[in-house]
Chain A
């Protein structure tokens, strides 16, 4: 199959959640103001956060799935998945800062200094920013061997995201426990692979 087509096709798939959210937003703005509930800004924050989390899990899934079904093409899409994950994490932050807090810089700053779940979330976001910023071929070439090491940042980022979720949870840990189990399994798998190859 044509490589360029494959890459582009994949990018369109990654935009699907965005069109879904966009459709809901359009519905709220032009048709039914209650389509996202009584607190639409908070709904958007939650939606983008969830999508980013799924994509983060998807990134971590690529290597183990690839070894099982031997789909080399999947490995080539890992960077696209990662960049999309950062994109949705950015939308998650933008909707929190812009829609919920309406860019009150003082409150944004206070949240960032005082509220632990926001601190870890922000740190995870910064890590994703570094990864997305160095995901292009030029950076990979420039960094050489160090690129692979740098991009292992995705693991601490995933752990911080789970802590972020754990601290956001108020009355029940079922959801964060599920995601933690998934991430833990993926990390264990990765660790075993590493042990085997060395």
Chain B
């Protein structure tokens, strides 16, 4: 295992192999101990959301989250919908498939491989990658390209802080992300009639990735990410359509050329590289001038107008100055 360059890690932080190999046993014992100790206090949240199956280091890092000034005060989409109505095609095409078929997925232990134009390349344990980074709670609007939207309280670390730790070279102009490829745990990846290529690939321009709003999420609703939401690590870019926010990230690659993303490859006319939320650019399938804020009811579809950059224009419009956004959609 390599230590991320520029991090605060020292040799002393490296886990001895015996401890490393025994860590699952250790985690089990300590989880039981913790459960016994704190059971009365956690009961409310556990009965609402179920037990958090993530390792204790991640649970405790997520629990230290501080509120972010970037949060919206809009009404939250309930937890059961945030975790029960998902597009995560690796687990199936139905909105309830990810929750149904995502339960066998094992997000821990997790490693992330960093490659390309950076000093801090190598394969890192998730714990080391995140160690020392401040977790924040950010309540963001999520606008799906299918013209529905939610308001979601994410937990996560600033992407800029995480990427800086990997010391990208000045020649790096884009950063690409890749979802884990495990067809044995992800039935959608094993589908013979899949219309998109797996593993799923997404990418951002460096300045988009380093923007303060860009989040590397590790949790939602005060707990670690459930499998169906992209455990253990996912991107959240609130001013872009949801499909940009790639889930279960296994690889990060810095490059000087615009990477081809999964959706561009599948259908370039429908899905552009930028995929900024834009009510002025219609999609061949869905009207983008408005969205249905979920949950909607049977007789009131809760339509709200879609805002440029999903309402984050003030913060991010500058990134695209001088660009024709009807061409670079």
Q: Which residues of A contact B (CB under 8 A)?
A: 25, 28-29, 33-34, 36-41, 44, 99-100, 102, 107, 110-111, 114-117, 169-175, 177
Contacts of A172 in B (CB 8 A): 89, 93, 188, 191, 193-195
B296 within 8 A of A: yes
Contacts of A37 in B (CB 8 A): 81, 84-85, 95-96
Q: Is the CB of B301 within 8 A of A170?
A: no
28 contacting pairs across A/B (C-beta < 8 A): A29-B298, A34-B80, A34-B81, A37-B81, A37-B84, A37-B85, A38-B77, A39-B85, A39-B148, A39-B294, A40-B296, A40-B297, A41-B298, A41-B301, A99-B298, A102-B303, A110-B287, A114-B282, A114-B284, A115-B285, A169-B93, A171-B188, A171-B266, A173-B194, A174-B93, A174-B191, A174-B193, A175-B93
- A-B pairs with the 8 shortest C-beta distances? A38-B295, A173-B193, A38-B81, A171-B89, A38-B294, A174-B193, A40-B298, A172-B93
Contacts of A29 in B (CB 8 A): 298
Contacts of A34 in B (CB 8 A): 80-81, 295
B223 within 8 A of A: no
Contacts of A173 in B (CB 8 A): 193-195
Contacts of B78 in A (CB 8 A): 38
Q: Is the CB of A25 within 8 A of B295?
A: no
Q: Is the CB of B192 within 8 A of A174?
A: yes
- Alpha-carbon separation in the docked complex, A173 to B192 (Å): 9
Which label, helix, strand, loop or mixed, suits the secondary structure of the B interface?
loop
- Alpha-carbon separation in the docked complex, A50 to B298 (Å): 19
Identify the interface centre among A33, A36, A38, A170: most chain B CB within 10 Å of its CB.
Answer: A38
Q: Which residue of A lies closest to B192 (CB)?
A: A174
Within 8 A of A (CB), among B62-96: 77-78, 80-81, 84-85, 89, 93, 95-96
Which label, helix, strand, loop or mixed, suits the secondary structure of the A interface?
helix
Q: Which residue of A lies closest to B303 (CB)?
A: A102
The count of chain B contact residues (Cβ–Cβ below 8 Å) is: 32
Q: Is the CB of B296 within 8 A of A38?
A: yes
Identify the interface centre among B93, B148, B188, B303: most chain A CB within 10 Å of its CB.
Answer: B93
Closest CB in chain A relative to B264 CB, distance in Å: 14
Q: Is the CB of B298 within 8 A of A25?
A: yes
Q: Interface digits, B245-268 against A, CB 8 Å rule (1 contact, 0 not)? A: 000000000000000000000100
Contacts of B141 in A (CB 8 A): none
Contacts of B195 in A (CB 8 A): 169-173
- Alpha-carbon separation in the docked complex, A186 to B252 (Å): 49
Q: Is the CB of A39 within 8 A of B295?
A: yes
Contacts of B292 in A (CB 8 A): 39
Contacts of B96 in A (CB 8 A): 37
Closest CB in chain B relative to A197 CB, distance in Å: 36
Contacts of B287 in A (CB 8 A): 107, 110-111
Q: Which residue of A lies closest to B266 (CB)?
A: A171
What would 6 more interface pairs be, CB under 8 Å, given A40-B298, A171-B188, A174-B193? Answer: A28-B298, A37-B85, A39-B85, A99-B299, A172-B191, A175-B93
Q: Is the CB of B285 within 8 A of A41?
A: no
Q: Is the CB of B298 within 8 A of A171?
A: no
Q: Is the CB of A171 within 8 A of B297?
A: no
Q: Which residue of A lies closest to B148 (CB)?
A: A39
Closest CB in chain A relative to B248 CB, distance in Å: 16
Q: Is the CB of A171 within 8 A of B296?
A: no
Contacts of B299 in A (CB 8 A): 99
Q: Is the CB of B295 within 8 A of A171?
A: no
Q: Is the CB of B285 within 8 A of A100?
A: no
Contacts of A99 in B (CB 8 A): 298-299, 301
Q: Which residue of A lies closest to B188 (CB)?
A: A172
Closest CB in chain A relative to B171 CB, distance in Å: 34
- Alpha-carbon separation in the docked complex, A174 to B303 (Å): 32
- Alpha-carbon separation in the docked complex, A10 to B303 (Å): 40
- Alpha-carbon separation in the docked complex, A93 to B326 (Å): 31
- Alpha-carbon separation in the docked complex, A44 to B298 (Å): 9
Q: Which residue of B lies closest to A44 (CB)?
A: B298
Closest CB in chain B relative to A11 CB, distance in Å: 27
Q: Which residue of A lies closest to B196 (CB)?
A: A171
- Alpha-carbon separation in the docked complex, A169 to B196 (Å): 11
- Alpha-carbon separation in the docked complex, A111 to B282 (Å): 11
Closest CB in chain B relative to A131 CB, distance in Å: 28
Contacts of A169 in B (CB 8 A): 93, 195
Contacts of A100 in B (CB 8 A): 301
- Alpha-carbon separation in the docked complex, A175 to B193 (Å): 9
Identify the interface centre among B77, B196, B297, B303: most chain A CB within 10 Å of its CB.
Answer: B297
Contacts of A111 in B (CB 8 A): 287
Within 8 A of A (CB), among B151-197: 188, 191-196
